C-alpha cells in the first residue's frame, strides 16, 4: 500500500478535528507529504501521523498555527492510543474537553495564586510541612538526618532535574521557590485512565505489602485553581506497577507479567486511596515503580470528590474531577533501574522524552514531574517526592476500571480500562 498524502488539522476547537479542518503541509523526516485535496480521510491520516511518531521519527510542522497544531496532536496522540475506540466515542471525549477549555473563568496555572498563598503564610507552612515529612520518612526508614544545599532549577520539565537538596530544618531559606517554582502539575486536561485501573481499593497510606523495591514516600497538595484554596476531603487514588513492570489487581495478561497467574486479579499491592487534610495534603508510602514496554516510568492518579467511605475501608460514589499521571526525572529512573530487582526486567524502557503521555500532559504548560530528595546517601535508601496539583473541582470525568475489588477478591469488568469519554 502506497501512501502519498497526510492531512494536518487546525485547532480552532478540538471538536473541529473530527470535521477534518485541513491547513497545510507536514514534513516527516526528509519526506514531504502535501495536503490532499479531498477531506474525510482524517482518521487514517492521524493514525499514520502518530504511527510515525511512535517510530521516533522527528516531525517538523510548517504552519502559522504551529502551537495549536502541536496541542491538537497531543490530544489525538492520547485519544487514538486505545484500540477499539470508535469515532463517536472520540468525538464525545473531545467535545467534553472543549467545554472545559472554553470555560474562561478557569485559570490554567497557579501563578495567580503566588501572592495570595504568600500572604496567607502558606509557603511557610509548606516549608515546615515538607521538612517535617522528610525528617519523619527518614526516621521511619531508620536513616540519619542530613542537610544539603538547595539546588537551582531550570524551566523545562522533561530535561531539567527535579532533585532537591532540601534541608530538613523548618528555617530552610527559599524552599518555597522549590515548592512553587515549576512544581505544579495543572490538572486542566484529563489524561487517560489506562488499562490497569481498579475501583474499590482500600483507603490506606502504606501500599507496599510484600513487594520489593526502592522506598518512595509521596506528598501531594491539591489546590483549587479558581480560589487558590486547598481542597480538603478529596480522595487521592493512586496506583503503579511493581519493580518489574507488573500491575496487581487485574486479570492475567500477556502484557502484564505471567499470563498464567490467575491469582493476580486478587492482588492489591501498590494501590490505595488517601483523603486530603485541611491543607489539601495527602501522603503515601509506596515503592518506586518499574517500567513496561511502550511507557516511561509513571504513576497513575484519580481525584475523587463527594463520595462515601464504606465500613470496609473502601470508597464509593462521588465524582472524578481528574484523571492523570505523574513522572520522575530520567536521571533518577536510570539510577533506580540499575538496582535489583529493577535490573531483572528485560522489557524495553521508554524514556520521558519519547513517552506520548508525557508529551500530552506538558503541552498545556504544566510540570507533571515529582520534586524529590534522597532520604539517605544513595537512591536505594529511599526517596521523598512531592508535587502541588492545581485542579478545577467543577470538572467531572469517567474513570473506566478494568476490574473491581470486592470482599471476595477482584472481579473483571467487561470493556473496562478504556479511555474516559462523555
Domain ranges of the chain: 87-406
High-pLDDT (> 90) share of the chain, %: 39
Distance of alpha carbon 333 from alpha carbon 197, whole angstroms: 23
* Predicted pLDDT of residue 337: 98
The strand order across the sheet containing 198-199 reads 198-199, 403-406, 409-412
Segment 131-151 shows an average pLDDT of 71
Asked if 379 and 175 count as a contact pair (C-beta separation under 8 A), the reply is no
- In tens, the pLDDT along 339-370 reads 999 999 999 999 999 998 888 888 767 788 99
Is it the case that residue 12 has pLDDT exceeding 60? no
Segment 301-319 shows an average pLDDT of 94
* Predicted pLDDT of residue 217: 95
**Computed from CA positions of residues 115, 372, 326, 275, in that sequence, does the dihedral angle turn out positive or negative?**
negative
Residues 6+ apart with CB under 8 A from 86: none
Nearest of 238, 162, 227, 181 to residue 391 by alpha carbon: 227
Asked if 247 and 254 count as a contact pair (C-beta separation under 8 A), the reply is no
Asked if 229 and 298 count as a contact pair (C-beta separation under 8 A), the reply is no
Distance of alpha carbon 194 from alpha carbon 419, whole angstroms: 7
Segment 145-163 shows an average pLDDT of 54
User: What is the CATH code of the structural domain delimited by 87-406?
Assistant: 2.60.130.10
* Predicted pLDDT of residue 98: 45
Most confident of 33-37, 191-195, 296-300, 386-390: 296-300
- In tens, the pLDDT along 89-128 reads 444 444 454 444 455 455 555 656 766 666 565 666 776 7
High-pLDDT (> 70) share of the chain, %: 58
Amino acid at each position: 500500500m502506497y501512501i502519498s498524502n497526510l492531512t494536518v488539522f487546525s485547532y480552532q476547537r478540538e471538536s473541529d478535528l473530527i470535521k477534518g479542518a485541513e491547513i497545510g503541509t507536514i514534513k516527516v523526516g526528509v519526506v514531504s507529504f502535501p495536503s490532499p485535496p479531498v477531506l474525510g480521510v482524517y482518521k487514517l491520516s492521524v493514525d499514520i501521523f502518530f504511527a510515525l511518531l511512535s517510530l521516533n521519527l522527528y516531525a517538523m510542522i510548517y504552519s502559522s498555527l504551529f502551537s495549536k497544531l502541536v496541542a491538537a496532536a497531543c490530544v489525538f496522540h492520547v485519544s487514538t492510543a486505545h484500540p477499539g475506540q470508535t469515532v463517536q466515542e472520540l468525538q464525545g471525549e473531545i467535545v467534553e474537553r472543549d467545554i472545559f477549555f472554553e470555560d474562561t473563568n478557569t485559570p490554567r496555572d497557579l501563578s495567580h495564586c503566588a501572592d495570595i498563598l504568600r500572604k496567607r503564610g502558606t509557603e511557610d507552612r509548606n516549608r515546615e510541612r515538607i521538612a517535617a515529612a522528610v525528617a519523619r520518612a527518614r526516621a521511619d526508614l531508620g536513616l540519619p538526618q542530613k542537610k544539603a544545599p538547595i539546588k537551582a532549577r531550570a524551566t523545562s520539565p522533561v530535561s531539567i532535574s527535579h532533585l532537591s537538596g532540601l534541608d530538613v530544618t523548618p528555617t530552610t531559606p527559599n524552599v518555597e521557590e522549590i515548592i512553587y517554582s515549576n512544581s505544579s502539575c495543572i490538572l486542566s486536561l484529563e489524561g487517560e485512565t489506562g488499562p490497569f485501573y481498579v475501583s474499590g481499593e482500600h483507603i490506606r497510606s502504606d501500599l507496599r505489602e510484600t513487594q520489593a523495591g526502592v522506598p518512595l514516600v509521596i506528598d501531594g497538595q491539591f489546590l483549587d485553581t479558581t480560589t487558590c484554596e486547598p481542597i480538603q476531603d478529596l480522595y487521592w487514588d493512586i496506583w503503579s506497577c511493581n519493580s518489574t513492570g507488573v500491575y496487581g489487581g487485574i486479570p492475567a495478561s500477556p502484557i502484564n507479567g505471567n499470563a498464567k497467574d490467575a491469582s493476580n486479579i486478587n492482588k492489591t499491592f501498590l494501590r490505595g486511596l488517601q483523603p486530603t487534610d485541611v491543607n489539601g495534603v495527602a501522603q503515601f508510602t509506596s515503592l518506586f515503580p518499574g517500567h513496561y514496554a511502550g511507557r516511561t516510568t509513571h504513576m497513575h492518579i484519580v481525584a475523587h470528590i463527594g463520595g462515601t467511605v464504606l465500613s470496609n475501608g473502601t470508597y464509593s460514589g462521588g465524582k472524578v474531577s481528574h484523571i492523570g499521571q505523574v513522572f520522575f526525572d530520567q536521571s533518577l529512573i536510570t539510577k533506580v533501574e540499575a538496582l535489583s530487582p529493577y535490573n531483572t526486567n528485560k522489557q524495553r524502557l521508554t524514556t520521558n522524552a519519547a513517552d506520548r503521555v508525557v508529551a500530552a500532559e506538558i503541552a498545556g504548560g504544566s510540570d507533571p514531574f515529582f520534586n524529590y530528595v534522597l532520604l539517605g546517601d544513595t537512591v536505594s535508601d529511599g526517596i521523598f517526592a512531592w508535587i502541588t496539583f492545581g485542579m478545577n473541582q467543577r470538572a467531572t470525568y469517567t474513570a473506566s476500571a478494568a476490574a473491581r475489588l470486592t470482599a471476595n477478591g477482584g472481579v473483571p469488568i467487561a470493556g473496562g480500562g478504556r479511555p474516559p469519554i462523555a
